[in-house]
Amino acid sequence: MATILIHHDAVSAASATAKRLLDLLVSKPDASLGLATGGTMEQVYAQLIERARGMNLSFAGVKSFNLDEYIGLNADHPQSYRTTMSKLLFDHIDIKPENTHLPRGDASDPAEEAKRYEAMIAELGGIDLQLLGIGLNGHIGFNEPSSSLGSRTRIKKLARSTMAANRRFFKPDETVPTHALTMGIATIMQARKIILLATGASKADAVAKALEGPVSTSCPASILQFHPDATVIVDEDAASKLELRDFYESIHPGGEEVYFVK
Ligand code: F6R
């Protein structure tokens, strides 16, 4: 079972997530970070930038690998995940552009691009810490329900609910992409450490299914139950449907990690 940390609100949950990323970078300045996009991460990156500045922390040795990218959008498209990451994080820290990796959404052969991306992650030594959000339907990356739990980076069709949720990032006259290149579930599970962050009442069902339901392709995030070092950070709203909520809160009051001392 993952470590489940329930924070009072979304700001505190995002701040705890940013702190964990910084702790890793302090102990390993050349760490490989697996990054995610989506609304939930915006607060994490804002906090990361601010705190890293305060600590004078350099990202010059850091490598990053994003989970996914829309197919059909070139890197410069305002809604590409490459542009989003530049705006939210890369442009504000001293990470070397050549060390920031995302699948190329405009590759002429997306299937080949998926293979290249998967191989590159392995060649560069894998991922130390993978950051995840969760979809309303339990997806991680763009591994929608029914995705193979053994999957690798590949092309995925987005679920209707995912396209509807992502509509808000696009202008009314723009079409929301229908397909993405995404790390697979097995790719994600190979990360040495995983942090999943979920905030808001809309995520409560997905969080409960992922943490307390059966491990199943119908909720891809449920695979994290098998990960040896996964932490799930939620706010009270996202935790509201957890049956064992009291128990998790008794182990980690206020979302703090408390260790057993004799
Ligand atoms: C994005 C990604 C997705 C999001 C998820 C939650 O790179 O991989 O799995 O993390 O869709 O998105 P938000 O945070 O917008 O609710």
**Considering the chain, what percentage of its residues have pLDDT values greater than 70?**
98
- Position 256 in a domain: no
- Position 240 in a domain: no
- Position 255 in a domain: no
Beta strands 100-101 and 179-182, pairing class: unpaired
- Position 223 in a domain: yes
Q: What is the CATH number of the domain that holds 101?
A: 3.40.50.1360
Distance (Å, whole) CA 18 – CA 49: 9
- Position 141 in a domain: yes
- Position 88 in a domain: yes
- Residue range(s) defining the domain that contains residue 113: 3-199+208-227
Q: Pinpoint the alpha helices (H) of 10-155.
A: 10-27, 39-55, 81-88, 110-123
Give 204-250 pLDDT, tens digit per residue.
Answer: 999 999 999 999 999 999 999 999 999 999 999 999 999 999 999 99
Give 12-48 pLDDT, tens digit per residue.
Answer: 999 999 999 999 999 999 999 999 999 999 999 999 9
Number of domains in the chain: 1
- Position 18 in a domain: yes
Beta strands 3-7 and 68-70, pairing class: unpaired
pTM reported for the whole predicted model = 0.97
> Within 6 Å (CB) of ligand 1, which residues are found?
36-40, 67-68, 133-135, 139-142
- Position 238 in a domain: no
Q: What angle do CA 250, 251, 257 make, to 5 degrees?
A: 130
Distance (Å, whole) CA 47 – CA 58: 15
Active site residues: 68, 137, 139, 144
Q: Which atom of ligand 1 is nearest to the CA of 36?
A: 7
CB atoms within 10 A of CB 205: 17
Q: What is the CA(238)–ligand 1 centre distance, in A?
A: 14
Distance (Å, whole) CA 218 – CA 205: 13
Q: What is the CA(259)–ligand 1 centre distance, in A?
A: 31
